[in-house]
Structure 1
Amino acid sequence: MAASDPFCLVCEQSHVVKPAVIWCNICEGLCEECSVVHRFIKDCSSPLHTTISVDNRKKLPTFIAEIKQICDDHSEPYVLYCSIHNEPCCSQCSSTKHSTCSGFRSLEVMTKNAADSASLTDVENGIDRLSKNCEIVRSNRETALTKYQDEVNSLKSSLKTLHDNMIKVFDQMEKDIIVKVDKIGKPYTEEMENITSVLTNLNLRLEDMRNGLTTMKLFGSSYQIFAGTGKLRTELDKEERILEALLIDGKVLRQKDITFKFEFASLPAVVKKAVNFETEETNCTLQLLRNQSIQIKLSW
């Protein structure tokens, strides 16, 4: 049965093919008539039998829609949660696979307030925090690159003035220095562009996570929100490590400054010796948002 156009599983038992309009997290696809009966079945009155329209289910992110609430081994709904293995289990699993475990908790109780849980809020805040940190670093790098390019342009302007005063002497000097600037600037520029590209891609993934979280809160079942929160937490931790790994390299936030010095008294015999071309890298300071909205001053 295709996930995009499910059929009523109850009607299929009678060899009748009818499109499903309602989706139960336990019973799966139901047509309009069967969904009415479903509401009055005692065993289906549990919050675990959360229902949504098929159209709304299609809006759920794939990783949420694929979360199962039926045990693959025993074809029974998950009713318990094993704190030892951090996984849901059915009533049979608790006496077989988890026979030596203790501290079982009711899955219905655990997931009852999943949409309002502190863990979900933490993931939501974490996405916002990491997104803001990406923007802080990206803005810093763009500013650094603009400053570098402005300095290069200023250097070119100075060289043009010298060229006007001493055409024959400075023609070759201009070419030599520009070549040197470009040689230094090319890897620096490429590095900045690569960093901003990584941050842009990271921001896109965070936006996908934010959209998935929003849709999950609107249409996901309690268990899906509970399990999806864990998946989002794992994915968020991975993305945070990507940014932190990027910033561990001390060279990532280095600043390349250019100065140009000229001594007129040495003209024209030693003009090349009188021109001093220098580059310097300086540290910059960023204010990144940390966990629990604590701001820590970081320097590289």
Structure 2
Amino acid sequence: MASSLNVNEHIKEDFTDLLTCTICLETFQQPKYLPCLHTFCEPCISTYIVSTVKGDKSEGFKCPVCRRLVPIPIGDSMENPETWARTLPGNHFIVSMIDRRAMKNTEKLCDACSMKSVSQKAMSWCTVCEEAYCTTCEANHKTFKVSRNHKIVPIKDINEDKSISNICAFVACDAHPDKTIEIYCMDHSQPCCTICATVHHRKCEQVITIDKAISGVKDSSKAKELTKKLTEASYKLEEIFQNRNLNKTNFENEMDVVSDEITKMRKKLNEKLDKLENKMREEENSVRKDNVLRLSEESTELSALKSTFDHWKNLFEASLSQGT
């Protein structure tokens, strides 16, 4: 039971991480994803790109998380890094998860009533318009020709259902925002709208509807096998990561031992040098003392001898001048 709770808490924390931009640390605003699947707010990744791309010959920019190189987008905007973030694909999956969390954590108000400054509890959700409606506005929504066939689901069903498929039926095409993604090109592994399919994928051999592409994916053997492989890879990477950290700790400990040995060696050398210096100082003082004493005695003797010679000189000069 405790293990199950820990797993659920871990999953919950992971989902929270999935909805948080690693640059601004806030819930995503206009989430855009890179080829490595790391997602960032469009303003955040745009600021990052402009601040990191230097020079005219840049090959692209590196993902702030995994440092993988993201090539320069092809098109008219390739020379201006300030526009690169705009060309990145939007992460509709993350948007749907954010919408689901918002509806689950707070009492959702009717969007149509809110536009009239009226607070009315929402009871249903239009998956195409991505708006919440009260009972009255839902009925009105179904009367309009343009929206009568929209898929509308009760909000309570969304909160009880872990799937996000009930939240957003209209996923806009990145190239044509007013068109929904309906086609999936298996040759390029790319979802697109009907216009993209006609213009860019007309020569592709495996082009199917998005419904066919996603049907049975959740419970398919490939999905389970991929989940298993990702889990195993995650465990292995965690093991390698822990091993590297252990190696780093052991290496630092070994280097600390080496540093201590160097300190001890230096201390011993200092002690030996101090002893050698003291010995040489003693010898120097002894030699100095002996030689100074000898030279002093010689100076005294020479001074006395000079005094005697001076006395003899004076006597000789006196005898010469005074003698008869």
TM over 0.5: no
TM-score, normalised on structure 1?
0.37
Which structure has the highest strand share of the two? 1
TM-score, normalised on structure 2?
0.35
Which structure has the highest helix share of the two? 1
